[in-house]
Structure 1
Amino acid sequence: MSGEAELLKKRARLYAQPPACSDMPGGDLIAVFRIGGSRYGFGIKHVNCIKPLDRFAPLPCSPPFVYGVANLRGRICPLIDVKKVVEGEGIEGKARYMVVLEADGVKVGVPADEIVGIFPKPRELKSCDSEFVEGMSDDGTIVVNVESFLRSEAIIVSEEV
């Protein structure tokens, strides 16, 4: 093998490694979305995928925080309005995206209006009164604790109609 080919292989192995988050200022990365008039951040390790929310079905007789259900690769995925759960007021109008969150085998979609970007999680967060929120950044981004949000009894619907 030529020296150039060996060099290219070495570079490919080097660049194939994921970036180390511990070298970043805030440690972890968060994906930030605009939901209603608020910015929400979710740990990137819990974001399964982001899809356009072209079609969804409202779910009659469900709690106000249930936005509806959507088809996710042939499976029914519940859509939970995180803004309604955290702030008490829901999304107005139709969301453009579905952010699929996953933790501990639970998968839900969160409707979002806009994809803001991926950023380092701030080291210091202002405290919030919600059990699902890690805190709020200086720019007003509400950082959600995805694991506690998805494990919470508050979003489990077990009613019979």
Structure 2
Amino acid sequence: MEQNIKCVVIKLHNEQFGIDIHQVRSIERLQSITVLPHTPPYVKGIMNLRGNVIPVIDLRQRLSIESNSYTDQTRLVVVTIKEIDVGLIVDAANEVMDIAGEQIQPTPTITQNKKIDFLYGIAKLENQILILLDVEKLLGNDELIYLEQLKELKENLGVEDE
């Protein structure tokens, strides 16, 4: 890959992932979440973030990574997916890192299938490997339709964005 990127480094279990900073709206402390019935297990519910009702997804569960209880380090990374703000629960969001394009490798061929096409690439850094996520591809079409329905629910409740 040729393009340099700046990414937010997040931690899930013992692994570190990167999300392009252009896909991140904010990083917040975890707040109260309202549970919604009949949602996939990784959809934790919705929350009011400064007047904006957003769906909240546990990224560990979405990526099939061993669950853990939330701590003081747990963060909510707010990203925009198809014009919908979504909160991603992560174990920590510690730093912003510049990654040179020559450090980024495409995902291995064995991982290039529909279930994990949300991997943007793999950054080979001096003392670690950083898995780069493409949040635009993190959710499938059915999930995006569901988020659209949540957005409509928000509008029907008369909740205004800031």
- TM-score, normalised relative to structure 1: 0.69
In structure 2, how many angstroms separate the alpha carbons of the residues matched to 1:107 and 1:132? Answer: 17
Q: CA separation of 1:41/1:154 partners in 2, compared to 1, >3 Å: closer, same or farther? A: farther
Deviation (angstroms), 1:83: 2.9
Deviation (angstroms), 1:58: 3.0
Q: In the alignment, which residue of structure 1 is the partner of 2:54?
A: 77
Amino acid in the other structure paired with 1:91: S
Which blocks of at least 5 consecutive residues in structure 1 are unaligned? Answer: 1-24
Q: Higher relative contact order by CA 8 Å / sep ≥ 6: 1 or 2?
A: 2
Confirm or deny that 1:137 pairs with 2:123: yes
Per-residue CA deviations over 1:37-89 (Å, capped at 9, x if unaligned) read: 32221110010001100322333321112122221111221111233233x23
Q: In the alignment, which residue of structure 1 is the partner of 2:154?
A: none
Identical aligned pairs, as a percentage?
Answer: 23
Q: Secondary structure of the residue that 2:104 maps to in structure 1?
A: coil
Q: In the alignment, which residue of structure 2 is the partner of 1:123?
A: 104
| Structure exhibiting the larger radius of gyration computed from Cα positions | 1
Computed over aligned residues only, the root mean square deviation of the Cα atoms, in angstroms, reads 2.5
Decide which structure has greater strand share. 2
Per-residue CA deviations over 1:62-119 (Å, capped at 9, x if unaligned) read: 1112122221111221111233233x23532126211000144121000011122111
Amino acid in the other structure paired with 1:123: I
| Runs of 4+ off more than 3 Å | 156-159
Q: In the alignment, which residue of structure 1 is the partner of 2:7?
A: 30
Q: CA separation of 1:89/1:115 partners in 2, compared to 1, >3 Å: closer, same or farther? A: closer
Amino acid in the other structure paired with 1:145: D
Aligned residues: 133
Deviation (angstroms), 1:134: 1.2
